[in-house]
Amino acid sequence: MKRFLLLLPILCIFLSCAREPRLTSPDGHLSVLFRLTDEGAPRYAVLRDADTIIRWSPLGFLTDSLDLSRDFRLLDSRGSSSDEAWETVWGEERLIRDVHHELRVSLLHASGLHMDILFRAFDDGVAFCYDFPEPKPASLTITDELTAYRFTADHAAWSIPWRTEYYEGIWTRSPLSQKADTLCSPLTLELADGSYAFLHEAALTDYPAQNLYMADGEFRTYLTPWMDSAACVLPDKAYLSLPFRSPWRFIVLAHDLPGLVASRIMLCLNEPCRLDDTSWIRPMKFIGIWWGMHMKSMTWEQGPRHGATTENMSRYLQFAHDHNIQAVLAEGWNLGWEDWRHFSFTEPYPDWDMDRLAHLADSLGVQIVGHNETGGNAADYEQQLEDAYAYHQSHGIHAIKTGYVSPIIRTRDGLQLNKSQSGVRHYRHVIETAARYHIMIDNHEPVMPTGLQRTFPNLMTQEGVRGQEWNAWSQDGGNPASHVTVLPFTRILAGPVDFTPGVFSFENPAMPGTRVHSTLMNQLGLMVCIYSPLQMACDLPENYMKYPDAFRFIEQVPCDWEQSRLVDGRIGEFCIFARQQRGADDWFVGAVNADDPREAVVPLSMLRADCAYTATIYRDGPKADWQTAPYDYLIETRTLSSSDTLRISMASGGGFAIRLTPDK
């Protein structure tokens, strides 16, 4: 990962008086104010121009021995600035520019403990974290984090409850005052003035995940707790060894949705890449022996309908080779699926010949994506990690999909919530171990992403979403058509997601009342709208071959980008994304629509002005409808330029996809 330092003129970054330092953003529009009350309690506020966004709100902690919510005095406040461009290993953009001003407020508690608070102001948001710079005391036990957000209006927020298993829920919109549940981070807010905000955390590495609840007119922090040996919740939230820096709390503030989607604050708050060699990390599309299990035509465990057999995998590898798909996943290849008591990650079922398949994959130039389901037994997985990753590496496998299907996972600390400090430590250990073996990770049942992929870019993608599989067996009939028009503005703002788009067959004989709520063109649009550097096209090869002309888009669309932008969208209604292929001049446009048919307007001003483009447009046909005619589509080719604007009709649950290639 390359980094480029740019000179930034030293401006008036903050104003400091004895008690109330003030930090401003580089463009001067956002401000963060800090003060101590008469009781020595730290408070902060956020302003945009003359408008208060967050009024004076609490900061601090409670520990098992100290009250760190008051009795502080201000020692010092120091400002600095940064203007840095850095190159991603993979991502929605190749280059990201990090421009911010920083204020460090140094506090001394009556107990003698030093606590600094670091504030950063960007043009599109603000962030802060707690820093304990000295090893005195040597440790702290946090029982509560008192960070709160006192918004000045009753904004509408998109959210899911914090105990939603694996974050696999439908995001709903309601005013802040009506949020009765404790909510998981992040939140996406529609502010009263028509602008938008995104509230989340960054650089979560050795700390519990942040949750939020409304009380007395303010959002308060609820840290995911530890559990005891009986799986009962403890008052302890985090065990800190000092010195220690907390995760960043940040809020993106954008005037419109394109600005919200374009923010890279979360990534910039994470540490730069720690890997010396990233040449082995490669974004790629994959198919897999997976959807058949959800549709009940295959099984994970060995038997007459076993999916992960040598014969079946050979067929999938050949299909991938023939259709520009870089890899194939196979779930259910290893011992343990028959009883879920103990999974082995080095012992295949008898009908899976790993040596033969590794040789075939290598000869075809196709990778195998390994699969390690733990059944929630993270401690058992850690004991096997070295052997498992050495085994996969020896067979040329450089990507593994991990899984933790259990509401409470068993870590080395006993039964714990997956987003507790113990769970966070486990996931971090897996990522670091995988990096030593040159293995990329696709993490399912994860903790919510917080930008750690900048530091460890082998953390490619994660689940943490109500994904495509719910359309196979959910008792409520499947994800509503609006679901995929909400995710780009909520869950996906936290990081790449393994949603598994690309269904080409909408019949469900296993559960006739459940199905994918989309047209075929919507599934193509998802390949662009749902960002993941490991992008799975989830359906069966035989279903793709029923519509080879439509499948051509999946063959061609990349999953690594030079630049990306939201063309248009409204949360819960529709979205249109345009992305430029990394290292090329080709652009890909994707759109997905909710239930109401609409006409999309797509200006092509992002194209180069000095050439014409050949546009291949995949769109809903005149009779298309997700319920009655999902397979009605049209494909057309046109010559277009940067001065053109497309108008494309989208059906109920519909969408479209476009490839734009410059003429030579």
Does position 215 have pLDDT exceeding 90, yes or no? yes
Condensed to tens digits (0 to 9), the pLDDT of residues 494-510 reads 999 999 999 999 999 99
Predicted pLDDT of residue 664: 81
User: What CA–CA distance (Å, rounded) separates 606 from 617?
Assistant: 17
The model's confidence at residue 457, banded by pLDDT at 50, 70 and 90, is very high
Contact 406, 210 (CB under 8 A): no
Amino acid at 627: Q
pLDDT digits (tens, 9 = 90+) for 544-589: 999 999 999 999 999 999 999 999 999 999 999 999 999 999 999 9
Closest by Cα among 652, 528, 537, 654 to 596: 652
- 231 falls in which pLDDT band (50, 70, 90)? confident
Question: Can you name the residues that pair with 48 across neighbouring β-strands?
Answer: 30, 51
Sheet holding 67-68, edge to edge: 67-68, 61-63, 139-145, 238-241
pLDDT on residue 11? 39
SS (H, E, C) 96-111: EEEEEEEEEEEEEECC
Which tens digit of pLDDT belongs to each residue from 463-477?
999 999 999 999 999
Nearest Cα neighbor of 171 from 491, 594, 530 is 491
Is the whole-model pTM more than 0.75?
yes
pLDDT computed for residue 19 by the predictor:
62
- CB-based contacts of 140, cutoff 8 Å, min separation 6: 61, 63, 66, 132, 239, 240, 242, 244
Amino acid sitting at position 335:
L
Q: What is the pLDDT of residue 661?
A: 98
C-beta of residue 420 within 8 angstroms of C-beta of residue 208: yes
Residue in the block written with tokens 């969208």: 569
Q: What is the pLDDT of residue 522?
A: 99
Note the pLDDT tens digit of each residue in 91-129.
999 999 999 999 999 999 999 999 999 999 999 999 999
| Domain map (residue ranges) of the chain | 3-268
When comparing pLDDT for 483 and 664, which is higher?
A: 483
Cα separation, 552 vs 544, whole angstroms: 9
Which residue did the predictor score with more confidence, 224 or 1? 224
Give the pLDDT band of residue 243 (cuts 50, 70, 90).
Answer: very high
Task: Check residue 10 and give its pLDDT.
Answer: 38
The overall average pLDDT reported for the chain is 96
Buried b (16+ CB within 10 A) or exposed e, 402-424: bbbebebbbbebbbbbbbbbbbb
For residue 659, which of 619, 630, 628, 632 has the smallest C-alpha distance?
619
Torsions phi, psi for 646 (to 5 deg): -90, 145
CA Rg value for the chain:
25
Domain 3-268 of CATH type 2.70.98.10 = yes
Tell me the pLDDT tens digit for each residue of 294-345: 999 999 999 999 999 999 999 999 999 999 999 999 999 999 999 999 999 9
Residues 557, 561, 567, CA angle at the centre, nearest 5°? Answer: 85
* Distance, first Cα to last Cα, the chain: 32
